[in-house]
Every structure is written in C-alpha cells, then in structure tokens.
Copies of this chain bind each other. A is one copy, B any other.
Amino acid sequence: MKENIIKNKIKLLKSQSGTHSPSIATILREIPEIEIKVDGCFLSNPYATELFFKYMKEELIDTGDIIRHLEFYPPQNYDVAKVLSSTINITPDKLFVGNGAIEVIQAMVHRFVKNKMVVIIPTFSSYYEFKKNDTQIVYYQLQKSNDYMLDPQDYVSFVTKEKPDTVVIINPNNPNGGYISKKDLIYIIESLNFVENIIIDESFVHFAFEDDSYEPVDLGTLVNKYSNLMIVKSMSKDFGIAGIRAGYGIMQPDKVQSLLKNGYLWNISGLAYYFFQTYSRPEFNEAYEKVRKRYIGETQTFLKELNEINGIKVYPSKANFALVELINGSYSFDFSMNMLANYGVYTRDCSDKIGLDGSFIRIASRNVEENRIIIESIKNTVEQQD
C-alpha cells in the first residue's frame, strides 16, 4: 500500500525531471512519507565530503568568515582558473571553470560541436540531450557480449567510417564504470587526429586505477600535446560536493577565450571559489589522497560482495558505482521502488538509459555501513521477487 503510493508519486516526479533522477531534496519535499536511509543514486566519495567540510567548518563557519563568501561577488573565471592551475598542472589560459561540469558540457556541445557527434552508449544522457537542433548524433553501441567494455580498435574503425567533427568518451563510463586504460586512450586519440573535437569526460577518474597502488590517473596534460582534445572534470563526485557546483574544462586557449569573450561572468559561487582555493593547498591534497585511496579500496570490496549475490549480474567497473542487471526477471523500476519503500535505499533505475539491453539498476558505493545496508537490501529484494 505505502509502497504503491510511493511508487506512483516517484513515477510522477521522474516524469518531471526528464532523464535524471529527482533530487533528494525534491523527493523529500514531495513525498514526506519516504525515509531515505542510503542515497545509492549519489555517486560521491563520502569521506572526501567529510574532509572538505572539516576545512570549511574550521575556516569559514567557526570563524564566521562564511558571510564574506555569500555576500560579495566572487572572482571572475580567469581568476579562479589561476587558483586551480597549479593543482592540476595546467596553465590558466587552458582552463574554463564551470558551475559544475554540466555547464562545461553545455558550453562545449553548444559552442564547439558542429554537424555530427559520435556518442558511446549507454552514456550520461546530457551529451546527446544538450545537442543543438542542427547536430546529428550517431551512437556507438557498447556490446553486452563484451560486458559493455570499449573495444578500442572497433571504436576507431567506427569513428573513421562516420567522420564526425566531435566524439565523446566518458572514462570511466557512466552508467557501467567501464575503464579504458591510458595506453588505449592514447591509441584512440592518436588514431582520431582527423576529429576536430575529442571530448573526454574524466568525472569519475579519481576512482579509477591502473594497478594496486591506486595512484591517480588522468589525461589533463595531454591537452598540451593534442590540440583537438578537451577534458571535462566534475568535482561533485570525487569531492562529494554536488551542491556547491564546481567543475572545469581543459582545452586550447582560443576555445577558452571564445567562451569568456561573451559570457560566463561570475559563474563561480563564493563557496565554489573557496573549494578551488582549498584544493590548491598541498596539505589538503595529501589528506584527500588518503581518503581517495581508502574509498577505492572499500568500493572494490563492495563490488566483490555485490558480485557474490545470486540473481543479479554486476558489470566490471573502475568507477564508484556498479551497473547491475536483474537476471531473475524483475523490472528495474519495481525493484528500485521496492528497495526504496522497504529499505530506504535509493538506487538508479536505468530503464530510461538508451543502449542497455535488459533490466538494469545503477548502485553507488557509499561508506562501509551504508554499503552493508545496500548489500542486505538487494539480497532480500532479490529473494522476495524469486
């Protein structure tokens, strides 16, 4: 009964929020009978949120200094870029700082994409939803038989045949977490030198790794070598600060200039500026590296435990989430609503994702205790449906 009421209300909210999950704030406002214990939709490192918030509490809240960050105009884009520059080892003229990565994506898709863009599916839907009317989208389908992992050679031949002006690669990919190694990515970039814009979205790259040391991997500095490369980077996931809205793009200086020439004045809030300042401090980064590696370790354990549950298939992921196929015949929307109504665990029903063949949900890795709740509630929900 309660389950059905909740289901119908969520259905309505979902229809209003397009192809993205309704936010926690919206759900709690519109469906007060719901109690969300674990937000398994939210793809963030909770330990990084704690770390950043510890800094913010000491420096802005306990001192009362926060009022300055709310009251006054924040610096302009180029000034924020100067603060970010040394942290990521990219000169400020190649940096476009955004009100979340989504603003960077919108800017790129509206301003630099021309007639034809190849998008790998399944994917993050904004890349094709944001397209202008006169841009054609061509989908490159990841193969289920290959566990939705990218085959670099097959991809390169597809793009070579299609001759788009733009390609988008999310690495690790959303919603499945498939990871393309740095070596393979460089092979792809080298092979696609005829493509005008290669957009690589590294929003989940802080959770990826090439070996057991979990050392950071990223491609930012390759923009110095390949002028057709553009990098998108969200701060919402790795630092768990989606409400602050902070992200950036790395691209050639002429592209940055063309964006700043007639827009993007004051697009960074006072708190986002404080975040970028904090991120530029070596001792913060040292502490961050620790919680990043801790979270990767815990996420790997979580993925292993998920893998052991009968009735579901977990796809290989080097992100902080798993794409889970319900192979016992459950519908993903029903499964996800049962999880929410019975256990307070909010997961991402993927029935609206194009390029997935079957019944899928996406589940984020949270902290140890929350991951335990997720595992238990999935086990129980699978058993109930059998």
Contacts and interface: CB of A to CB of B under 8 A. Distances in A.
Interface of A: 16-18, 20, 22-26, 39, 42, 44, 49, 52-53, 56, 61, 66-76, 78-79, 99-100, 102-103, 106, 109-110, 126, 129-132, 236, 240-245, 262-267, 269-273
Contact of A262 (B68, B71, B131): B131
Number of copies: 2
Nearest to A245: B269
A271 B273 contact: no
A144 to B, nearest CB: 28
A72 B265 contact: no
Contact of A49 (B24, B71, B99, B240): B71
A263 B78 contact: no
A99 B99 contact: yes
B269 A269 contact: yes
A270 B73 CA distance: 17
A242 to B, nearest CB: 4
Contact of A76 (B23, B53, B61): B23
Given A23-B75, A130-B262, A66 B61 contact: yes
Given A66-B61, A129-B262, A269-B269, A71 B23 contact: no
A291 B78 CA distance: 35
Contacts of A132: 262
B71 A20 contact: no
Contact of A269 (B75, B78, B243): B243
A270 B68 CA distance: 17
A302 B253 CA distance: 46
Given A243-B269, A245-B269, A267-B99, A16 B78 contact: yes
Contacts of A100: 266-267
Given A99-B99, A131-B262, A267-B103, A23 B74 contact: yes
Contact of A67 (B18, B25, B49): B49
A263 B272 CA distance: 20
9 contacts: A17-B76, A23-B75, A39-B72, A42-B71, A49-B70, A100-B266, A130-B262, A243-B271, A269-B272
A91 B106 CA distance: 26
A291 to B, nearest CB: 14
A122 B272 CA distance: 32
A110 B75 CA distance: 23
A273 B271 CA distance: 14
A64 to B, nearest CB: 9
A8 B174 CA distance: 49
Nearest to A76: B17
A233 B48 CA distance: 36
A266 B245 contact: yes
Contact of A70 (B17, B24, B244, B265): B244
A65 to B, nearest CB: 12
A265 B125 CA distance: 11
Contacts of A102: 265-267
Nearest to A135: B262
A306 B324 CA distance: 69
Given A17-B76, A56-B70, A271-B271, 18 more contacts: A18-B76, A24-B72, A26-B75, A26-B76, A26-B79, A69-B243, A71-B240, A71-B242, A73-B243, A100-B266, A100-B267, A106-B262, A130-B263, A242-B266, A243-B271, A245-B267, A269-B269, A269-B272
Contacts of A74: 23, 25, 242-243, 245
Given A61-B66, A263-B130, A265-B102, A72 B270 contact: no
